[in-house]
Structure 1
Amino acid sequence: MSELSDLIPVEAIRLDVAAPDWQSAVRTAGDLLVSTDVSTDTYTEEMLRNVEENGPYIVIAPGFAFAHARPSPAVRRTGMSWVRLSTPVNFGHETNDPVHLVVALAAEDAGAHTQAMGALARLLADPDTSAALDHAPTPEALRQILVGDTTPEPEPESAAAPAAAAAAAAAATPSDAAPEQPAAKGSGHGMHKILTVCGNGVGTSLFLKSTLDKVLDRWKWGRYITTEATDTISAKGKASEAVAIMTSREIARTLGDVGVPVRVIQDFTSTKEVDAAMRDLYDV
């Protein structure tokens, strides 16, 4: 799988760009994909159309938009671009506007860049690293931060963090400790599946899956729950296999009633928010 540093060369980074609106910001990110021979102009139009058709669900964290579209013939190879704006712009998101960072992804398929998405999610979730990226003076300096992704993950405020569980074992109450085997509301025991869903299944859903996987690892529930990133069309068919869906507010509206709980996540990089959604789902 591709590393984050492999997907974002210095030539695909532009800092302090002036953009009058979200369309211009996405188009700048798309132009960088074109200039680095990752995609064609057609893919840039597909990214713009994705937002026009599905809403601003690509604004997955405060100030951060992850522009992308479905894999298509307009993608020559998997790659990314990075655009930091001089003045934030609004995408129309209820809670995460205005946006000062647009990262664009062009993917040949849904799997090759999974590792890179996890690395990017860790970088943006760490306050110190995120601040360093926001203040990097040059593309070279910013890419060095990306290449040197050695930031330790922050300690979770999780019900099942091993260190916290060991320290508080004697005083733990049922609401403080994760059960040995999860049982979601209305579901039985056994292996569970949670779907993370976006419009295309290759971008924001992978971000959210990475954050959910971190929570499950900390809870030591990985042997009980599988996670799958998918798109809105596939999610409707796969909902019967799942105990829950996590997604953005815009995609939740598109999905409608799929017969399983749908949890809306505002910040796809926030383990705290995903942790809270899991607590609600499993009565932890």
Structure 2
Amino acid sequence: MSIFKDLLVTERIELDREVADWRAGIRVAGALLEKTHSIDSSYTDSMIASVEENGPYIVVAPGFAFAHARPSAAVHETAMSWVRLSSPVSFGHEKNDPVDLIVALAAKDANSHTKAMATLAKALGKYRQALNEATTPEEIQEILEKAAAGTPKRASADQNKNTENRKSESVQTNTRDKILTVCGNGLGTSLFLKNTLEQVFDAWGWGPYMTVEATDTISAKGKAKEADLIMTSGEIARTLGDVGIPVQVINDFTSTDEIDAALRELYDV
């Protein structure tokens, strides 16, 4: 079954929309979700309030904002909307402005959209130009399905017995073998970053031996002692402050190269 068949229907995709600013952009994305009765308007207000309170942490890659808020009674079904802007707008992000693509997520829980998030992260990292040039909602869906078809399943420990010593040979220091990815809500940008981080670990052969947990800012402070490090945005890093373990700022949540370089330095690989 198509990953995006129900999650991102064509009625929730709008291309080359003109908006005045980032708030208007999120409102358009929210209106598409409202139109299919996936959310109430209060959820759109919450997506805007999240940026006002936490800063532009949802701008997770150059030109891309992933709008979302916490699950609530205002969410009737897990759904996404897609708004490509005709003229980019500024969110105030130091590295990734201006934004010309806003994807909004409304999630009823933290699990129902995980496979789609992995596909979206890969699609934006590999097929961004094609997504920019698509002329119809159907083309957007086709590109996302192409990315999904090329996403391998994560290997299990049993499937990786031949590589079980690779991690111990590479890293000589004691580690907790766990990384936290953190955002304001614990199920949006943090899950996006988690998916890209797991791609890097899988490429290294470390996938079966590392735990990556997506969480929110409040929970992260309590869970920090269980982890080797935290990966997050600059805005969330400032909110967290000193949590007793390294906090690594990632600018492009779709970039396996940026995350690979950060991990190699942090784990001395």
Q: State TM-score, norm by structure 2.
A: 0.90
Letter in 2 for 1:95: K
2:186 maps to what in 1? Answer: 201
1-structure distance, mates of 2:123, 2:40: 28
2:171 maps to what in 1? Answer: 182
Q: Does 1:267 align with 2:252?
A: yes
Per the TM alignment, residue 6 of structure 1 is displaced from its structure 2 partner at its CA by 2.7
2:163 maps to what in 1? Answer: none
- When residues 10 and 217 of structure 1 are mapped into structure 2, their CA distance, relative to the original with a 3 A threshold, is same
Letter in 2 for 1:241: E
2-structure distance, mates of 1:198, 1:2: 28
Letter in 2 for 1:242: A
Letter in 2 for 1:198: C
Unaligned 5+ residue runs, structure 1? 154-176
Letter in 2 for 1:131: Q
Does the CA-based 8 Å contact 2:75-2:106 persist in structure 1? yes
1:19 maps to what in 2? Answer: 19
More helix by share: 2
Does the CA-based 8 Å contact 2:61-2:96 persist in structure 1? yes
Per the TM alignment, residue 151 of structure 1 is displaced from its structure 2 partner at its CA by 6.5
1-structure distance, mates of 2:71, 2:148: 30
Per the TM alignment, residue 183 of structure 1 is displaced from its structure 2 partner at its CA by 5.0
- When residues 225 and 178 of structure 1 are mapped into structure 2, their CA distance, relative to the original with a 3 A threshold, is closer
Per the TM alignment, residue 224 of structure 1 is displaced from its structure 2 partner at its CA by 2.8
Deviation track 1:254-281 (CA, whole Å, cap 9, x = no partner) reads 0000000000000000000000110111
Unaligned 5+ residue runs, structure 2? 152-165
2-structure distance, mates of 1:5, 1:122: 18
Deviation track 1:158-195 (CA, whole Å, cap 9, x = no partner) reads xxxxxxxxxxxxxxxxxxx96525356xxx24x51100
Aligned to 1:211, what secondary structure does the other structure show?
A: helix
- When residues 232 and 281 of structure 1 are mapped into structure 2, their CA distance, relative to the original with a 3 A threshold, is same
Larger displacement relative to structure 2 (80-89 or 5-14): 5-14
1:101 maps to what in 2? Answer: 101
1:56 maps to what in 2? Answer: 56
Alignment of 1:44-123 (within 5 A): 44-123=44-123
Letter in 1 for 2:106: A
Match of 1:236 among 211, 221, 225: 221
Deviation track 1:219-268 (CA, whole Å, cap 9, x = no partner) reads 11123321100110110110011110000000000000000000000000
- When residues 117 and 2 of structure 1 are mapped into structure 2, their CA distance, relative to the original with a 3 A threshold, is farther
